[in-house]
Structure 1
Amino acid sequence: MAVPPTDRRQVLAWSFYDWANSAFATVVIAGFFPVFFKQFWAADLAVTDSTRWLGYTSSTASLILVCMAPLLGALADQLGAKKRFLLTFTTLGVLGTGGLFWLAAGHWGAALALYLFGLVGFLASNVFYDSLITDVADPGDYERVSSLGYALGYLGGGLLFALNVVMVQFPASFGFADAGAAVQAAFLGVALWWALFTLPLAFLVKEPPGLGEQSFGGALRGAFSALAQTFRQVRSLRNTFLFLIAYWFYIDGVDTIVFMAVDFGLSLKFPAASLMVALLITQFVGFPAALIFGRLGSRWGPKPSILLAIGVYMLVVAAASQMQQVSHFYALAVAIGLVQGGVQALSRALFAGLIPAGQTAELFGFYNMVGKFGAVLGPFLVGTTAYLTGDPRLSLLPILLLFLIGAVLLTRVDVAAGRAAAGAAS
């Protein structure tokens, strides 16, 4: 049974995990690693080769999650071990990220290996973090609580990233020999931040027991059995299944913009410092915007609010095809900040209301699997379009199709009927 929403300690402890791991998403994935990898660890590689290997590593992490998330989710439900699994993968991510601090120039293979550990730890821990929302919040509060998590993530990631940018711009003021040393210290800082702010969840969040005392082997057999049953069950829950397909398309568009934004700006010859400023704009706009979307989701319902966010994204993509100046990039960073946290938070909240109780980790494994499997298509379309047209401004246009398909499918999801069916299946 979910914890009553008045237990604010558990809600805040859960939400602060977003504050913790968003540092990795902001500082490492979106911010420093792509640039530092090219300029420091892989400086001797051709630019096309470093891009290729970086892309392969990101795709490998997504494919690992696609393959293992549903099974690990089912196993966590069997054992009542969502927190343990979250902490295990958090440890993997922290160690991988922290290891970048000690890596010398030229070791691009080792850098990619550590980055892969960090990515897998980040992506897999989110499966169990997402699923714990049903244990800390009442169903009527999913939108508000989910949005609080994303808002704190934007704020925490933004604050640490702002500090790191200042460190890189003025390394001597912080005791560093140069900007490169400051960047490597930033990686260690992310690892420590991630570990420290995971502690509230580790100590305060409670989860219900699994299916009783059983051996690991018995739980694993039960997980495989439950997984096969869940495949059939998801297909039978029409609105849940339809939402997952819609989510597959539109979140692919969202994630593609997140992963490709810096590369897009670099392709247009914008200064790297300006791109860092744009990322900061998105973070700090995203903090209040995610909270506002939580209120919109509670008042309008999550589906209309998600459709509003998708509409803004489509305008952003269309505008990007006409981009000429850094100021345009800043304007689009504001627009993305207004809706990015909202679409992510309300999608998580909507899905939480469309799944049966007792299978949350397993079904959020499907949810994350769908999101990361979809993330393979968008970057491929962007890269192919850039290659065929020779114009990076046109490379994002195929994402319009992903948003359009996702929006059309989402309009066909009957949320009330889906919630009723999930309740009956519980």
Structure 2
Amino acid sequence: MARAKLTRQERSWVLYDVGNSAFVLLATALIPVYFASIAEEGSSVVVAWGYAETVASLVLALLMPVLGSLADLKGNKKKFFIGTVGTGAIALAALGIPTAAMAFLVLYVVASIMLNGSMVFYDAFLVDATDDERYDEVSSQGYAWGCIGSCVPFIACLAVVLGGPSIGIPMDVGMKIAFLITAVWWVAFSIPLIRDVHQTHYKERAEHLIRDTFGGLWKTVKRIFKDKRLRYFMLAFFCYIDGVHTIIKMSTSYGTDLGIDATQLVLALLVTQFVAFPSAIAYGRLSTRFGTKRMLPVAVFAYFCITLFAAFFLREALEFWILAICVGLFQGGIQALSRSEFGKLIPKEHANEYYGFFDIFGKYAAVMGTFLVSVFTQLTGNSSMGVLSIAVLLVVGFVLLWRMPERE
């Protein structure tokens, strides 16, 4: 790792982004294409994939505040992290087993829930891995190295899937190998965090676990809405992250519905990762100079423009390449700064609990976004109208961020 300024704990925390991003990239680029190959003829990949993502996000949003509150107890955070990574990696490796579309989607939903659950605990480990003044830098480094590091197993997966037929490996067998490669990579890069980052902020174990857990959740809800700055930020995040998650999750399915060649889609999304690497680091440094309050609205406005471009101009492979590059410029920055800004606003000993609610807002936004895209696509028969439906929420998120009170 090039940045000598990162401590061992910070580097180990950053490396998990390298591990989990491999699954995120595979789920964005190849898995929807593979799903389209086993789906029933005539069915819309966008609609089916959108509903699957909606179910995964909804289940996760319901579970994470409770699990987060339990993970805040002394000694629990790492156990929950290991449990979600292990279960998710097994489900990911098993994705090559089903031959029916519905069975595949069920297994994918399980793997997706575990992936995103592990990322909540991972985000909460930020407060243990570094100091307040380093949040923006370390969080941005995580997204940056996650983008570039995930390309290594992904390129290996592409070589097996696309190049396999030339050496006698059928494409479906190549996908099975790709699932295994990604699962092993995910687990391997979780080991440094498990070894080096320890829970230094925690709640003491309570005598009445269930009562105190749900009582604590209610107190957290009240604290969130009592704190004006935190309230504005959470509502803004709910709105703008909708567009971010929906574009990331639905881009390949949307391109497939438009008839763009699968190879073009995959290679364009690979370019997104390379563009996102320097962009995320640059965003972390710009936020140090100009402040997160200024840099986040810039990224939200950019995503609004990207959404309009996707709805009105995306028709051919060239436009998809342009879209992929534009997403890469802002994807890492907006997510990294959102994560670090939230960490600055919350009490450290309740990090998992708060990040559980952070995840609720993010996942319900993802539910809304993927659901809106699926419903409007189904109603209008036009994928472009589905994409356009999320632009309004980006505008609301921008306004709320702009009006957010200054830190006292």
**Alignment TM-score > 0.5, same fold:** yes
* Residue pair 1:78, 1:223 contacting (<8 A) in 2 also: no
> Secondary structure of the equivalent of 1:395?
helix
Distance 1:222 1:325 in 2: 55
* Residue pair 1:382, 1:396 contacting (<8 A) in 2 also: yes
* Residue pair 2:93, 2:183 contacting (<8 A) in 1 also: yes
Query: 2:215 aligned with 1:225, yes or no?
Result: yes
Q: Identify the residue that residue 364 of structure 2 maps to in structure 1.
A: 373
Which one of the candidate residues 172, 176, 180 is aligned to 1:180?
A: 172
Q: Identify the residue that residue 384 of structure 1 maps to in structure 2.
A: 375
Change (3 A) 1:38 1:323: closer
* Residue pair 2:51, 2:371 contacting (<8 A) in 1 also: no
Change (3 A) 1:210 1:390: closer
1:360 partner letter = A
1:13 partner letter = S
Which one of the candidate residues 130, 149, 173 is aligned to 1:137?
A: 130
Distance 1:396 1:190 in 2: 29
Q: Identify the residue that residue 269 of structure 1 maps to in structure 2.
A: 259
Query: 2:14 aligned with 1:37, yes or no?
Result: no
* Residue pair 1:75, 1:220 contacting (<8 A) in 2 also: no
Distance 1:214 1:401 in 2: 44
Distance 1:415 1:138 in 2: 21
2:372 partner letter = L
Q: Identify the residue that residue 62 of structure 2 maps to in structure 1.
A: 67
Choose 347-356 or 107-116, whichever is displaced more. Answer: 107-116
TM-score, structure 2 normalization? 0.94
Q: Identify the residue that residue 410 of structure 1 maps to in structure 2.
A: 401
Query: 2:389 aligned with 1:398, yes or no?
Result: yes
Which one of the candidate residues 246, 250, 256 is aligned to 2:240?
A: 250
* Residue pair 1:100, 1:184 contacting (<8 A) in 2 also: yes
Distance 1:405 1:47 in 2: 36
1:82 partner letter = K
Distance 1:248 1:209 in 2: 26
Once the two structures are superposed, residues 345-378 of structure 1 have per-residue CA deviations (whole angstroms, 9 ceiling, x without a partner) of 0000111111122111100000011100111222
In the TM superposition, what is the alpha-carbon distance from 1:415 to its structure 2 partner?
4.0
* Residue pair 1:89, 1:122 contacting (<8 A) in 2 also: yes
* Residue pair 1:127, 1:361 contacting (<8 A) in 2 also: yes
Distance 1:112 1:381 in 2: 19
Once the two structures are superposed, residues 128-172 of structure 1 have per-residue CA deviations (whole angstroms, 9 ceiling, x without a partner) of 100111111111111000001101110122222122112222105
* Residue pair 1:22, 1:153 contacting (<8 A) in 2 also: yes
Query: 2:82 aligned with 1:92, yes or no?
Result: no
How many residues are paired up?
404
* Residue pair 1:285, 1:338 contacting (<8 A) in 2 also: yes
Q: CA RMSD for the aligned pairs? A: 2.0
Change (3 A) 1:176 1:98: farther
Listed as ranges, the matches of 1:42-121 within 5 Å are 42=39, 45-48=40-43, 52-101=47-96, 103-105=97-99, 107-121=100-114
Distance 1:352 1:9 in 2: 20
* Residue pair 1:290, 1:345 contacting (<8 A) in 2 also: yes
Choose 31-40 or 363-372, whichever is displaced more. Answer: 31-40
In the TM superposition, what is the alpha-carbon distance from 1:319 to its structure 2 partner?
1.9
Distance 1:50 1:400 in 2: 22
1:392 partner letter = S
Change (3 A) 1:324 1:266: same
Change (3 A) 1:356 1:210: closer
* Residue pair 1:176, 1:182 contacting (<8 A) in 2 also: no
Once the two structures are superposed, residues 27-74 of structure 1 have per-residue CA deviations (whole angstroms, 9 ceiling, x without a partner) of 1x212221212213x3xx244276554433322211111111111111
Structure 2 gap segments, 5+ residues each: none
Choose 107-116 or 192-201, whichever is displaced more. Answer: 107-116
1:362 partner letter = E
Query: 2:198 aligned with 1:199, yes or no?
Result: no
Distance 1:108 1:6 in 2: 47
* Residue pair 2:228, 2:405 contacting (<8 A) in 1 also: no
Change (3 A) 1:340 1:213: closer
Distance 2:59 2:383 in 1: 29
Query: 2:325 aligned with 1:334, yes or no?
Result: yes
1:386 partner letter = T
2:218 partner letter = A
* Residue pair 1:290, 1:339 contacting (<8 A) in 2 also: yes
Which one of the candidate residues 147, 163, 167 is aligned to 1:170?
A: 163
Choose 18-27 or 108-117, whichever is displaced more. Answer: 108-117
In the TM superposition, what is the alpha-carbon distance from 1:324 to its structure 2 partner?
3.4
Larger relative contact order, structure 1 or 2 (CA cutoff 8 Å, min sep 6): 2
2:255 partner letter = G
Choose 187-196 or 377-386, whichever is displaced more. Answer: 377-386
In the TM superposition, what is the alpha-carbon distance from 1:301 to its structure 2 partner?
0.9
1:375 partner letter = A
Q: Identify the residue that residue 16 of structure 2 maps to in structure 1.
A: 17
Distance 2:86 2:122 in 1: 14
In the TM superposition, what is the alpha-carbon distance from 1:316 to its structure 2 partner?
1.4
1:337 partner letter = G
Distance 2:42 2:223 in 1: 47
Distance 1:317 1:210 in 2: 40
Identity of aligned residues (%): 35
Structure 1 gap segments, 5+ residues each: 418-426
